[in-house]
Amino acid sequence: MSVDILDVGSGNIQSIKNWIEKANISTRVLNKASDIKSTLLILPGVGSAGSYMKRLKLGRFDEAIFEHVDKGGRILGICLGFQIMSAYSEEDGGVEGLNFIDGYVERLQGNASHNSWEPIYVRRDELEGQSFNRQMNLSKKRILDGRVFYNHEYGFVNKEENSFSIPVSDALPKYSGLLVKDKIIGMQFHPEKSQITGLELVSMIL
């Protein structure tokens, strides 16, 4: 198991590193696209979609991410890193995403801001149709039942039929909070800042 964390110039990289290393897995923080060599690539994400995609393209990270996926590597996108895996985000006047997942990102209904802890419940057997699941070997844990921290203004509307998705919350059922499709996993919440549940989750997905 090797984990690379992509550093495109913003984001709480140190928190992601700390989170993964709590599971006794070493990480590398990369700021050069050609350095990606891991089995799991993490796209952390804070900032706005427009400037994030601009930085991805400037550093040719987008091409390297496609190459990583073509070679069978797994990807974990967190928050904005999850959103840019869609086809399109309406943030910053409209931004084209990486289009790994059929879906789009829109401003939360009612122009709301969602800064909150929400309950999460995931049964591992529900992920069996996704190849991501076959590489989850670190823990035999089968059920995740806890709470996770959200801080976002845009939400991911999933259109992918053959994917596993759970909504952000009862109040925001339109948007995916956790989405797994093949070798790609996206989290709208911040697992690295979700305390005990974040720790349980990292041992489930690695």
Partner 1 sequence: MRVGSTVLLKEQLCVQSYGWNMMRPLGSLQGVLDSLEEYQCDEVAIIRPVRKNDTLSLFGQDLQILRKIKTMTPISFGGGIRTIEQLKLLKGLPIERVIFSSAFLEKKNELVTLAKDLFGHQAIKCLLPIGYHDGTVCVYHSSEEKYLPLSSVDTQFIDELANEVILFDMFHEGSRDQFDWSILSEIPFATDKLIISGGVGTSTLRIARQKKVASVLIDNKVLHQEYSIFGYKHA
Residues at the interface with partner 1 (CB under 8 A): 7, 9-15, 18-19, 22, 46-48, 50-51, 80, 113, 115-117, 149, 151-153, 190, 192-196, 198-199
The residue among 114 and 183 lying less far from partner 1, judged by its C-beta, is 114
Distance CA 155, CA 161 (A): 18
The residue among 15 and 131 lying less far from partner 1, judged by its C-beta, is 15
CB of 128 to partner 1, least distance (A): 28
CB of 31 to partner 1, least distance (A): 10
For residue 85 the two structure tokens come to 């895996």
CB of 91 to partner 1, least distance (A): 9
- Structural contact between residues 176 and 167, judged by C-beta atoms closer than 8 angstroms: yes
- Count CB-CB contacts under 10 A for residue 94: 10
Secondary structure element (H or E) that encloses residue 167, with its range: strand 164-167
Distance CA 165, CA 59 (A): 31
CB of 85 to partner 1, least distance (A): 17
The residue among 130 and 188 lying less far from partner 1, judged by its C-beta, is 188
The residue among 152 and 181 lying less far from partner 1, judged by its C-beta, is 152
- Count CB-CB contacts under 10 A for residue 140: 9
- Looking up tokens 């910053």 gives 92
